[in-house]
Each structure stands twice: as structure tokens, then as C-alpha cells.
Amino acid sequence: MVRELPAAGAARGPHLAAFGRGLLLAALLAAAASFLPVADSSCPRDNSLVRDISQMQQSNYGREGFSHITVTGALAHGMKEVEVWLQTFGPGQRTPIHRHSCEEVFIVLKGKGTLLLGSSSLKYPGQPQEIPVFQNTTFSIPVNDPHQVWNSDEHEDLQVLVIISRPPIKIFIYDDWSVPHTAAKLKFPYFWDEDCLPAPKDEL
């Protein structure tokens, strides 16, 4: 039912109309905000110019023998074009087989290991190349090529500095090297971005 405001106090009409529009706008903004992802309070945001790496959030994200630090990133530090990670793999540990549509560069700070590199030109990754990497080497991953970094040393940690483009990263994970590219499973946000970018929830 639509009701017209009383004629009395017509001089205040414009003010009342403006007030009503303000209430409507506030309601619309509140409704829109309810659909936006809200960063969890545990999101480690830090826009300091100089940061102490030893004081940064470090976690294994449920992977034994693994450590990850986002040295500078899109969600925690406001980076637009690149993101930098410091990762350590214990003896025998490895990343999942995965691919992503961003550029990725590794610098090996200590230890040695193996880069396993598949192909994006076939329907599935195929038998990977096994490429040795070691301290003071650097290597880059072709965009969308499936790969895996493995600490193949039995005694020493493998520590790498990783630089990626186009953050935050979207990763497609393979169960093995014979899985078709179309069957790889998207993981987004990735584990270390989950506190800052919650996954969208299905609405009934």
C-alpha cells in the first residue's frame, strides 16, 4: 500500500525526501556488503614499509615437513603485480602436482632438490622431466605447465624464494601425472590466502 505524506509541513518535504533517500541508500549499501567476502580477523595485514621476516606468520598449512611465509603479497600487503613467498621443504617433501596461469620464478637459497615438469601441450601432463636444482640456482615455470618441486635430498632442507605474478594465485591440482588437464581440481583461495579471502559460500 502506498501512502502520500500529509500536506501539512510541506515546506519540510524536500528534507524528508532527502532523508528517505539517505535511508534507502544506506539499506542498499548494507545489503550489497552482505554479499562481499569479509576478511577474517586472523588475516595478517601489514602495510609497513620495512618488515621483519622472522616476525611474519609462518605455517605448514597441514603439510608435514613444510613451511610457508608470504613475504609480501596481494591480500596481506596490498601488492598488485607480484607476490613473494619463502618456503622450506623437509627431506623428501614435495608440492602437489599443480599448474597455474601466472608466471613463477624460484631462487634456491639452500639445499638441493628436483623440479618435475610436465607438459600443457598434451591432454594430460605425461611423464615429467626431472630437473635437478640446487643452492644458488634459479628456475622459472612456463605458464600453465604442470609441475612439482621435490626435496629429493634425504638429509637437508630445501629452501626457496618464490615470486609469482598476478596474485592472489589460483591453483589447479592433479592427483597424478596421468590426470587430464580438464580434470585438475581448482583450489582458490589457496591455503595461505584463506584467512584473507574466504571462499564464497553456496546460497540456497
Consult the annotation and say whether 100 binds a ligand.
yes
Consult the annotation and say whether 104 binds a ligand.
yes
Consult the annotation and say whether 68 binds a ligand.
no
- Identify the bridge partners of residue 138 per DSSP, sorted by sequence position: 107
Total residue length of the chain: 204
For CA atoms 65, 191, 178, 147, give the dihedral sign.
negative
For the chain, the helix, strand and coil percentages under 3-state DSSP, each to the nearest 5 = 20, 30, 50
Q: Which residue has the cell 614499509?
A: 49
Contact, 141 vs 104, CB < 8 A? yes
- Identify the bridge partners of residue 173 per DSSP, sorted by sequence position: 98, 185
Distance, CA of 57 to CA of 65 (rounded, Å)? 16
User: Which secondary-structure segment (H or E) carries 108?
Assistant: strand 104-110
Closest CA to 167 of 184, 185, 189: 189
Binding-site residue ranges = 98, 100, 104, 147
Binding-site residue ranges for Zn(2+) = 98, 100, 104, 147
